[in-house]
Amino acid sequence: MGNPTGFMKVQRQVWTDRDPAKRLGDWLEVHEHMPEEQIKKQASRCMDCGVPFCQSGDSKYAPAVAGCPVNNIIPEWNDLIYRGRWKEALQTLHKTNNFPEFTGRVCPAPCEGSCVLGINADPVAIKLHEYEIIERGFKEGWVQPEPPARRTGKKVAVIGSGPAGLAAAAQLNRAGHLVTVYERADRIGGLLMYGIPNMKLQKEIVQRRVDILAAEGITFVTNTEIGKDLPAAQLKAEFDAVVICTGATVPRDLPVEGRNLKGVHFAMEFLGKNTKSLLDSEHADGNYINAKGKNVVIIGGGDTGTDCVGTSLRHGAASAIQLEIMPRPADKRQPSNPWPQWPKTLLVDYGQQEAIAIQGEDPRHYLVQTTRIEGDEQDNVKAVHTVKIEWVKDDQGRMMPKEVPGTETIYPAELVLLAMGFMGPEGGVLDQLGVEKDLRSNAKAAYDQFATNVPGVFAAGDARRGQSLIVWAIDEGRRAAREVDKFLMGVSYLP
């Protein structure tokens, strides 16, 4: 603890963002770097608590109680930053997190939600420090491929190249196994590549890490969907173990009149096509859903909805709004939401900031339920009909939405995007391999064991736990790799 009084003297400060009106003209990342001396001051706010709740994420209590799922050794690397020992900070960070360049950009930072300083002050800017450590590491050339010294001869197939799949592959390769990662898209990265827009995670950052993993000996196979292009049984026969990391990619649908009108799309179709066209041709090929000049209604108020707002505004949408069925979060923690629980407070993310700058107000409309979608004579979407709701308890004590009479509203719309979350993994691979599913259609495998009912077949990430955070996917990929290593070798020395 380099500065015992740092938390008393230094106020929380995070990176500055580029001007919203200007950044809408490009697809570059929103944040700017902070000068080193300011970062050191921020790191001095870490109190090196006797019990560092920030690094103690626990699957048993998630997501109610916060904390880092990969158990980053946060007080140590905060102290190392303060002392200017950046390379040691990077080494400490890499002990627990394979991809801090991803989590430092897109993780919602549950660590900060459980920071002890957050009891009565603003928490330490942990996410900022993670980002600065890894970017300093790449800039200085400290991040280099580290292939294993020996090979075991065991072969492992990883299905899916999202954060869980990449983490599992990285760890299994580190143990000396021959790892092949299969991805059905044309680029490696899964959600990191085609689910998160470029302004949140520039794709050269993803490719930079993929190139390192390939140099370490991992084989990547793209444009190959297991269960379609390659039978799952063949994969099972050719490899000593299989790890399913396909994610939870079945989107939640909206069963209302007008759902099938032209111009109504799932959010991930909109976002994925946009990124692919951007990478392929900087949108010159036109192979994306263009929001230019359109009134865009996004149904769903989460991170994916925010990404749709930011993407639509960069296209030049006439307007972009989000309809959210839940109430507006409170501005500050409420008594019913005490520390160290995840703070259920209002966040104004980059997409909302941009909408406020352009449209003059927050694009989110709360306690709104869509009743039908209206089309024109050519079956193009024309408007979204809604009603305000309130949440009341039914006879069984369950909270249910109740329409408020006289609050009907019609929003003009030429593009409607459904961003209401995901139901679970697609069933093809699971069914072909005979993997048992839980009640939510996820692969049934216990946390910290990750073995399915099929010997030699494991599951991790959203395919096992359902829709979740990237940092939980990395955690599961790492833990699953250790269990696979045990299965193959009888014992594992992976962390």
Q: Which of the pair, 143 or 56, is modelled with greater confidence? A: 143
pLDDT of residue 48: 85
Select from 460, 130, 107 the least CA-distant residue to 303.
107
Q: Give per-residue pLDDT as tens, 148-189.
A: 999 999 999 999 999 999 999 999 999 999 999 999 999 999
- The fold adopted by the segment(s) 6-140 is Fumarate Reductase Iron-sulfur Protein; Chain B, domain 2 (1.10.1060)
pLDDT of residue 188: 98
Q: Give yes or no for residue 277 having a pLDDT over 90.
A: yes
Residue 59 pLDDT class (50, 70, 90 cuts): confident
Annotate 17-70 with DSSP letters as a single string: BPPHHHHTTS-S-SB-PPPHHHHHHHHTT----SS-GGG---TTTTTTB---TT
Please give the average per-residue pLDDT across 381-400, as a whole number.
Answer: 95
Please give the average per-residue pLDDT across 353-366, as a whole number.
Answer: 96
> Cis link prior to 110 (omega < 30° from 0)?
no
Annotate 220-259 with DSSP letters as a single string: EE-S--BTTTB-HHHHHHHSSEEEE-----EEPP--SBTT
Question: Could you tell me which residues come within 8 angstroms of residue 37 by beta carbon, excluding any fewer than 6 positions away?
Answer: none
Which stretch of 378-382, 427-431, 460-464 has the lowest confidence by average pLDDT? Answer: 427-431
Please give the average per-residue pLDDT across 349-353, as a whole number.
Answer: 96
Neighbours of 154 (CB within 10 A): 19
Torsion of CA 196, 215, 177, 220, to 10 degrees: 50
Asked if 155-249+423-489 and 253-420 have one fold, the answer is: yes
Q: How many CA atoms lie within 13 A of 284 on its CB side?
A: 4
pLDDT of residue 341: 87
DSSP state of 331: S
pLDDT of residue 63: 67
The answer to whether the beta carbons of residues 251 and 272 sit under 8 Å apart is: no
pLDDT of residue 1: 65
Q: Give yes or no for residue 50 having a pLDDT over 90.
A: no
What's the mean pLDDT when you consider all of the chain?
Answer: 95
Domain spanning 155-249+423-489, CATH architecture: 3-Layer(bba) Sandwich (3.50)
Q: Give per-residue pLDDT as tens, 86-119.
A: 999 999 999 999 999 999 999 999 999 999 999 9
Residues of the chain above pLDDT 70, percent:
99
Q: Give yes or no for residue 301 having a pLDDT over 90.
A: no
Q: Give yes or no for residue 315 having a pLDDT over 70.
A: yes
CATH of the structural domain 253-420, one choice from 3.40.50.300, 1.10.510.10, 3.50.50.60, 3.40.50.10740: 3.50.50.60
Q: Where are the domains of the chain?
A: 6-140, 155-249+423-489, 253-420
Structural element, H or E, at residue 350: helix 350-359
Q: Which of the pair, 2 or 15, is modelled with greater confidence? A: 15
Residues 260, 265, 269, CA angle at the centre, nearest 5°?
A: 140
Annotate 292-323 with DSSP letters as a single string: TT-EEEEE--SHHHHHHHHHHHHHT-SEEEEE
Select from 180, 133, 188 the least CA-distant residue to 158.
180
Residues of the chain above pLDDT 90, percent:
92
pLDDT of residue 62: 67
pLDDT of residue 57: 77
Residue 3 pLDDT class (50, 70, 90 cuts): confident
